[in-house]
Structure 1
Amino acid sequence: MSEISPKQASYLALAAYSIKQNLEDLEVPLALRNDFSFKDMITGTSGGFFFRPETGFALLGKGKSERYKNDLVLAFRGTAGLADGITDLTCSGKGTDTGETVHSGFQTTFYSMRKGLTRFLRDNPVTANGTIHCVGHSLGGALATLVANWISASPEFKGRVNLYTFGSPRVGMKSFSINSSSRISTHFRCVNGADPVTKAPVWPFYHVPYDGSEYILNRAQGLFPSAHFMAEYSSYTQTATWDSLGFQKASSTFKRVVLNYENRLQVTPSADWADKISAALLTLLVDGGAAASVFALQNVGSAIATIYDAIARSIVKISELSSEFSERVKGLLGHMLVFVGKGANIGIKFTYSFIRWVFELVLSKLNQAVKAALKTTF
């Protein structure tokens, strides 16, 4: 099996940022120079005919060493234009060629790049023995994920498809996560513990791979913009083997979590607690019999704001089912309030307006951290 090393993958992700206008700007580090030559670049855009801001970029290379002579590398980066959409609560889902729903901003940018990518892949065909390596940091990781899924599903293209991401946001809904995870040959998902971008967009978006497999490079707690820097990721990947990195299956989102109101003071504004709160919310919806209606909204690509509006209304009904459920709702809301720094003494109300207000506080908290991280990146 052909795979590129952590060091090579991080250098490819960095290289995608180094080019401004053409390939002459590219400074190829030694770790890549002996194995790959870079043939082309593609720019992705969005918007209308008269205003088409750049939203994505791809650096395209071909293997030249004995080990990689049958391989291609596709390294992606996002831009400030694409960054605006990741925290937009009115942003809806968009269908893929494979029938699943993904973030509309990511999919639109991918569509704008697909023609150029198709031309490159046809001009440089990979055999069944070759591998196409898709690499990206941040929003580039989202684009790399969509491209890896598209290539893997296409009967036109041969070979394995490996996906390498650093600090990637969530890309699509549950069905996309499950199906693309099985299509793509191998995943190397790298995260830093305090990177806020990996927690966006919020549920019902999911990461790829679906089972939560990831390489955790730094286990710092909190939500810090600096944890998202590609240079920060690169500092932990100066190694030739993936086995030397910390591997885990981050499955907290899939665990049953019930939050006790009396324990709310243990909450910290961290990525770990963001996952626990999401898991507790999902557990409550399932146990309260409201999951099906919410999942129906995500399946048709409804906007995040619409989904959380429906969740707020569902939680009001759940709180009325029994005293046990009202206590669980109280525990969830109490933990959310401490997460956003509102203190532990706000009286909990089981009304739609109060619950929607708490949701807005949490979403705003996460989105502010994500925006700060992306602002320093693009």
Structure 2
Amino acid sequence: MAELTAFQAARLADDVYSLTRLPTLKDAVTYLNGEYGEVFNFSEQSLLKAKTGGPWFIKCRTAFGFTLLGQGSLKGHAFFLFRGTQYLADWLTNLNISVSRSSSGQPVHDGFKRAFFTMEPKLKEFMAIVAKNNISHIHCIGHSLGGALATLCGDWIKSGYKIKPYIYTFGSPRVGLYGFADFCTSSIGAERIFRAYHKTDIVPCIPIWPFIHTPNSGQDYFLPSPGIVPMAEYHGMNHYIDSVRNKSWPTLAALESERKSDDGIVRWLKSTSPIGLTITALEWLNQALVYVLRKCLKGVAWAISGAFGTSFTLMDQLAYVLKKGIDISENVSSLVLNLIKKMMEILGMKKVLKAAELTREFIRSIFLKLQQKVNDFTQAALSKVLVKGRAV
């Protein structure tokens, strides 16, 4: 098989954290060569460095992963390994998240893109080496923020070099909007994208709407974990390794979570059963929003971020489109109304509401309040991970 096993990918996603776990880079390289000397040669020359940051915390340039040529049993394979960061909560819960364009010209999280593109010179050098060595298989691997970078790397390789890589992510946040997820899925192929996530890992639930996961169709790899609220430890790579140990990708695929059909989404929107802020509710709410946006935009949910000027924030765009949807038809109007009611219920707000009350300002305020509540929820969960010293 050309792709890595789930356990191989998970081990690499975990061991790249040697860059932060061990006292020095030399210690990390020594450890990694001890673990993988038969198939890789780790060195300072193979190091990837990224400049990370934004207006909400200090920028820094630091070791973020490796570029590697396989040898021995992995001869003919090339690898891009990316780690996560302790600043992930700041990246994901910033209220002013902006969108910019990926290598393929699609809308993605601007912070992720900026960090990735600071690595581009080193990536280009490595791709020249890949070309000279007649590499047939390329693998992009990462956990948490590293998963977001691995996804962007896969898009970059396909866009610039016309090669279809394999992408493996564990507990990755959402990287882009509908256009990115759709383009990346169709151009690389859903069968080459292995997205694994624990049920109670909060990170795959954010950034919140309208960001969605890649692949946006085909198979993802749902890993059961206890409860319906975030369990901080289930974002850690130690649990991901345990969850995939001795399991093939087809075996993991059999653990698939409930697929949310269009009919199921409509039933959920109309349901009067009480809901609160849980992982399950966030999953349903995200799917419902994408569904309602498609109805408002006549099937083109990707238009968010592409059809407006830079003065419109994502929340402005969402409010504008949903308000327009109220005027399309009675059916679409009721979908928008039920969606806002669900959001208000999660916020603990009064649910008695009429379509006429849904002004752009009101819709925008509900989105902002919900975003803040989810962000507080996320910060608390990730803080517990940091306190326990786990890699994020």
Shift of 1:76: 0.3
Alignment partners' CA distance in 2, 1:117 and 1:63: 16
8 Å CA contact 1:171, 1:207 repeated in 2: yes
* Change in 2 beyond 3 A, CA 1:107/1:56: farther
Q: Per-residue CA shift, 1:172-218, capped at 9, x if unaligned?
A: 22222122223336111101112221121223222111205211111
Please tell me the residue identity of whatever aligns with 2:318. Answer: I
8 Å CA contact 2:269, 2:288 repeated in 1: no
| Count of residues in Structure 1 that have an aligned counterpart in Structure 2 | 370
Secondary structure of 1:28's match? helix
1:230 maps onto 2:237 in alignment: yes
Counterpart of 1:28?
Answer: 32
Counterpart of 2:200?
Answer: 194
1:172 maps onto 2:176 in alignment: yes
Q: Per-residue CA shift, 1:19-59, capped at 9, x if unaligned?
A: 134143243398745433324211100469xx742477112
* Change in 2 beyond 3 A, CA 1:339/1:138: same
Larger CA deviation: 119-128 vs 197-206: 119-128
Please tell me the residue identity of whatever aligns with 1:237. Answer: V
Secondary structure of 1:72's match? strand
8 Å CA contact 1:8, 1:32 repeated in 2: no
Q: Which runs of 5+ in 1 are unaligned?
A: none
8 Å CA contact 2:95, 2:372 repeated in 1: no
8 Å CA contact 1:197, 1:373 repeated in 2: no
Matches within 5 A, 1:106-125: 106-125=112-131
Q: Per-residue CA shift, 1:307-329, capped at 9, x if unaligned?
A: 32343355455556777666544
Please tell me the residue identity of whatever aligns with 2:111. Answer: G
Counterpart of 2:253?
Answer: 246
Counterpart of 2:368?
Answer: 360
8 Å CA contact 1:177, 1:208 repeated in 2: yes
Q: Per-residue CA shift, 1:64-95, capped at 9, x if unaligned?
A: 22x31111222101324465222223222112
What value does the CA root-mean-square deviation take over the aligned residues? 3.4
8 Å CA contact 2:33, 2:41 repeated in 1: no
1:338 aligns with one of 320, 327, 345: 345
* Change in 2 beyond 3 A, CA 1:312/1:211: same
1:154 aligns with one of 160, 176, 201: 160
1:5 maps onto 2:5 in alignment: yes
* Change in 2 beyond 3 A, CA 1:251/1:259: closer
* Change in 2 beyond 3 A, CA 1:324/1:69: closer
Larger CA deviation: 29-38 vs 15-24: 29-38
Secondary structure of 1:154's match? helix
1:104 aligns with one of 106, 110, 115: 110
Secondary structure of 2:3's match? coil
1:143 maps onto 2:146 in alignment: no
Please tell me the residue identity of whatever aligns with 1:22. Answer: L
State the identity %.
28
Please tell me the residue identity of whatever aligns with 1:4. Answer: L
Larger CA deviation: 347-356 vs 187-196: 347-356
Alignment partners' CA distance in 2, 1:326 and 1:152: 40
* Change in 2 beyond 3 A, CA 1:211/1:260: closer
1:18 maps onto 2:35 in alignment: no
Shift of 1:3: 2.0
8 Å CA contact 1:212, 1:250 repeated in 2: no
